Chain A
Amino acid sequence: VQLVESGGGVVQHGGSLRLSCAASGFSFSRYGMHWVRQAPGRGLEWVAFIRYDGDHKYYADSVKGRFTISRDNSKNTLYLQMDTPRDEDTAVYYCANQDDPNYTYYFDNWGQGTLVTVSS
């Protein structure tokens, strides 16, 4: 299993950024996917989830209405659209999932993370 995030960088308040996560080594279209973030020197925070077929999406209250999770199963790719970012959105963003039924809604596969810095 390999998850590779990209798209991080510096984004200004009022701007937008789209993160991508390229998946390989498992049947991407069969599994739900998550974004989890970690602010510098801080703990882990779950951000969003999308069901295997894209029909159900859930968000943390901290990002609801500003971030949008999506996926393209034909490209084995997960996305996170970040709109109107805030200072507190500065973090390393990981895509994560599980491909073992024992780990459902836990995380046993993680990407290497991509750093997003919100700047004024």
Chain B
Amino acid sequence: EIVLTQSPATLSLSPGERATLSCRASQSVSSNLAWYQQKPGQAPRIIIYEASNRATGVPARFSGSGSGTDFTLTISSLEPEDFAVYYCQHRYNWPPLTFGGGTKVEIK
């Protein structure tokens, strides 16, 4: 099973600041990684797929990078609606599909 480790667990930032979230895989997942945003009481929403492609309708302030074992989600300038929990997920050599433990981006 491929384990995804996200860091930090919590990121405290102000609107307008840059957010950098990390996801590390226990073995290479090539570029087979997605990022999701989840707000309280809602289902997750895909924001990045294949490591660096923005999903439909996702603002350009969101970007993803990385391949192999190290991945980054960057939010260039936080908007109020971006404060949420973010998860990474791989689809490489499954089952199982696995998610990271999540990073909460909270208002400082």
Show the binding face of A for B, using Cβ within 8 Å: 34, 43-46, 49, 58-61, 94, 96, 100, 102-108, 110-113
- Indicate if the CB atoms of B97 and A105 lie closer than 8 Å: yes
Q: Which residues of A contact B97 (CB under 8 A)?
A: 34, 46, 49, 105
Given contacts A43-B87, A43-B102, contact A106 B95 (CB under 8 A): no
Encode B42-57 as 1/0 by CB contact (under 8 A) with A: 0111100110010110
Show the binding face of B for A, using Cβ within 8 Å: 1, 34, 36, 38, 43-46, 49-50, 53, 55-56, 87, 89, 91, 94-102
Return 6 A-B CB contacts under 8 Å, by A number: A94-B43, A106-B46, A106-B91, A107-B44, A107-B46, A111-B43
Q: How far is the CA of A46 from the CA of B45 in the complex (A)?
A: 15
- Indicate if the CB atoms of A110 and B98 lie closer than 8 Å: no
Q: How far is the CB of B49 from the nearest CB of chain A, in Å? A: 5
Partner of B49, one of A61, A103, A112: A103
- Indicate if the CB atoms of B99 and A45 lie closer than 8 Å: yes
- Indicate if the CB atoms of A103 and B95 lie closer than 8 Å: no
Partner of B100, one of A43, A49, A112: A43
